[in-house]
Structure 1
């Protein structure tokens, strides 16, 4: 595929027309149809076009894959390979992803409706994650315990075994990289279950992993539904760890499956209803308003850390909301293949109708609709930026995760009231504070019940810091060196020495 970056809609469409899709599962180094022959349709939500019929795996395929993964782990071709050698293979995979960057971005854009510019950023993030984690693995040391001269205590880290990564549809390849990069770098065998709504880039990644030289059974991809192949993998006695990003409801089910089977580790990154707090002493309200709009409307609002609750000090609320509405006017949805489109299409009709239902409910419960609210008159699944003001904690749109381009604005008068509003949520994935008062920034940041707090920005962190939530937003951490902790086991070796 050409390395020249397309610059307009026509060029991206022409490139999309050249794509072919791998539709089979990838099990034990071989692309195969589902054992029972089932398929699922993957659809372009911007056009309604069926892109491909993809293998829909179930328990029979899960059994084959988990057996192959366990055998691969026990053989040790990867699990006992020197970290520097694992690093070299993963860096080769990253290089192949870079060489196919445009293709991978197109697959995610066509599959789930995200704008191509956003998809390119996701692919860059996935490549960066793989490179960062690969480069880290041969720089981590074990420990020697402080003992007397009659003993030697060694503390070593070993791979867990078989890891199942279940990833969502909103950032298909980037979320995949966040899960599989540390798991593979640590020496585990990994089975990837992509969302049934966006499996195409995962299957292309399987082809690239084969080309990079990952041994048979070390990385496998099983497309299919959560209630079939996902459940089978979660209940498998061969699996040692589940790493999941998705809804809180499914995360709870996975924890139950782990308890019903072998007490496998479960790491969850689940839903969010993140507060974005604007104090009146914020230095640049124009910048804050632009960020507040992007925090909810990026990726059509289909973002776990979307800044969906905007908390604004009442003395500036009216003027600030006007700025947000003005910013939203430049973020309208359009053809996902057009580099000028800020937003694309909702992933499927189910999600589209769900968001419209929330919008209706917001109006019925008395929130003030400031902009948006009506779907575009189009054959695609497009919903414009929607802003509700005068939202209260009792309103459904102010409490539940909508996962769409719907912003709920709350007013507050004091710092204490802002904190009460912010923390009044089942979720705790992200939060932001906009202020120039460093004392306030530190007070509020420490009191927010959130896995991460952004100060005078939204979602700025890179690979060097961990990502994850508290409360019903989950318990695991992606990114940074901390992600490697989840895919390794600590072993103590205690030696008695002759003196």
Structure 2
């Protein structure tokens, strides 16, 4: 008889779960050098899950020294490429084998629905590790066309010690987008998860070691922003990859200049525009996609379609359908497989989103939502919220909120819609709904964004597509073979034959 994995099942699993809060440095679990810890609080009910090592400068130095030693010793980058591939494939298999455990950690720690962590986050992270493992023995260099008395080779070599500072909204998936290609390229890695969601990273590091990744090659330092800053300033870190806010990204870039001019790769904020033309081929699908684009993951997405640009001719009908669709995104217990929308990650983010909603009440028309709900649980929940704004200069339409708050803007022509979409400091993603082939291609070309969807939103989770943005949404790209470029140095070698 098949066990029904319902709310009771996941609550029982949560009650039995062993949670590890120590750092993982040089192949072993470690307390912080100072002995300091911090409370890891579940946004589901506001209760403490465990206490986590609060890593500081001494821990950063120890992890960097371990990473440097392992790199210089060649225990990972010196392996035959097929051997590194074999180990990473074994690691991917372990991630799938422990999928429920890791998904449960993500749900308890970040408030993400268990239906998402078991189908998107953890399988996606395993797929990422597998994908880059498969690339290890398939990506080579070049033979340059030179004079016949020379042989010219262009090769890529591991950059060295890579620090990855990752966000709380997709704790293990965003981390995998960093450590997957960084390890595949032969580097040693130090992962600094967000203090809001550190648990899955610690467990995944244990599994990496179990799979055969040598001590010192993959380290995890839970802690706060000071640990990230110390990694950015560290003279023995060769590369820093960051996903998070534009404000922090700018600071990390400056720290690179103040230290050793390490490579810094930034995937930052977004305020993505979702444009719907009057010839939209499927309005109901567009409505569903617009709702999912902002309410999925509680709106805690850098690619969230937080600006919905509607042609005046369809605005009223579209908004009416959207309000109805929003009812299916009611917040609920993240451990319930039927829950589509979970909890905001912590009380700090809850207050931030509620503050924006309060601002919106004074500068726009509230269409639906706008309230904190399920307060009796002790958790942090906000209902789907939609505003209609007259101008994109409104703060809720211009600034990244990172919550389930949608701003609807009206336009009359495609040119106006493109101008509105591009009138942002960000350029991470955009979408365009139209039944006209010319409008689709020309509109996509004119949108200044790293990813443009046509007649869909947030589709294409395949690893083949580079992910990143224009303007203040950052530099470099995650995913795809292009990500390997971030974690390697190009070398030209010329051999004179005669």
- The answer to whether TM tops 0.5 is yes
| C-alpha distance in 1 between matches for 2:11 and 2:476 | 38
Asked if structure 2 preserves the Cα contact closer than 8 Å seen for 1:5 and 1:102, the reply is no
1:139 corresponds in structure 2 to 138
1:285 pairs with one of 283, 286, 301: 283
**How many equivalent pairs are there?**
493
Deviations 1:179-221 (A, max 9, x none): 0000000100000000001010000011101111111110000
Query: Structure 1 residue 441: deviation in Å?
Result: 0.8
| C-alpha distance in 1 between matches for 2:147 and 2:425 | 49
Q: 1:175 to 1:397 in 2, by over 3 A?
A: same
1:494 corresponds in structure 2 to 494
2:116 pairs with one of 118, 123, 139: 118
2:472 corresponds in structure 1 to 472
2:206 corresponds in structure 1 to 207
> Would you say 1:26 and 2:24 are equivalent positions?
yes
Asked if structure 1 preserves the Cα contact closer than 8 Å seen for 2:389 and 2:397, the reply is no
2:368 corresponds in structure 1 to 371
> Would you say 1:97 and 2:95 are equivalent positions?
yes
Q: 1:62 to 1:178 in 2, by over 3 A?
A: same
| C-alpha distance in 2 between matches for 1:5 and 1:449 | 48
| C-alpha distance in 2 between matches for 1:263 and 1:390 | 43
1:156 corresponds in structure 2 to 155
Structure 1 gap ranges (5+): none
> Would you say 1:446 and 2:445 are equivalent positions?
yes
1:196 corresponds in structure 2 to 195
Task: Within 5 Å, give how 1:57-136 maps onto structure 2.
Answer: 57-120=55-118, 121-136=120-135
Give the alignment's Cα RMSD to 1 decimal: 0.9
Q: Secondary structure of 1:21's match?
A: coil
| C-alpha distance in 2 between matches for 1:5 and 1:414 | 54
Asked if structure 2 preserves the Cα contact closer than 8 Å seen for 1:6 and 1:12, the reply is no
| C-alpha distance in 2 between matches for 1:361 and 1:152 | 65
1:393 corresponds in structure 2 to 392
| C-alpha distance in 2 between matches for 1:272 and 1:299 | 15
Deviations 1:234-279 (A, max 9, x none): 1001100001100000100100000000000000100000000000
1:402 corresponds in structure 2 to 401
Q: 1:377 to 1:337 in 2, by over 3 A?
A: closer
Query: Structure 1 residue 148: deviation in Å?
Result: 1.9
| C-alpha distance in 1 between matches for 2:268 and 2:149 | 48
Asked if structure 2 preserves the Cα contact closer than 8 Å seen for 1:391 and 1:398, the reply is no
| C-alpha distance in 2 between matches for 1:204 and 1:216 | 15
Deviations 1:333-361 (A, max 9, x none): 00000011110110111100110110110
1:41 pairs with one of 36, 39, 57: 39
1:329 corresponds in structure 2 to 327
Deviations 1:286-309 (A, max 9, x none): 000000000000000000100000
Asked if structure 2 preserves the Cα contact closer than 8 Å seen for 1:42 and 1:53, the reply is yes
| C-alpha distance in 2 between matches for 1:5 and 1:99 | 18
Task: Within 5 Å, give how 1:247-266 maps onto structure 2.
Answer: 247-266=245-264
Query: Structure 1 residue 377: deviation in Å?
Result: 4.0
1:483 corresponds in structure 2 to 483
Query: Structure 1 residue 390: deviation in Å?
Result: 3.1
Query: Structure 1 residue 7: deviation in Å?
Result: 2.1
Deviations 1:411-465 (A, max 9, x none): 0000111011100101000000000111011111111110110111111121111
Q: Secondary structure of 1:417's match?
A: helix
Task: Within 5 Å, give how 1:302-451 maps onto structure 2.
Answer: 302-365=300-363, 367-378=364-375, 379-451=378-450
2:172 corresponds in structure 1 to 173
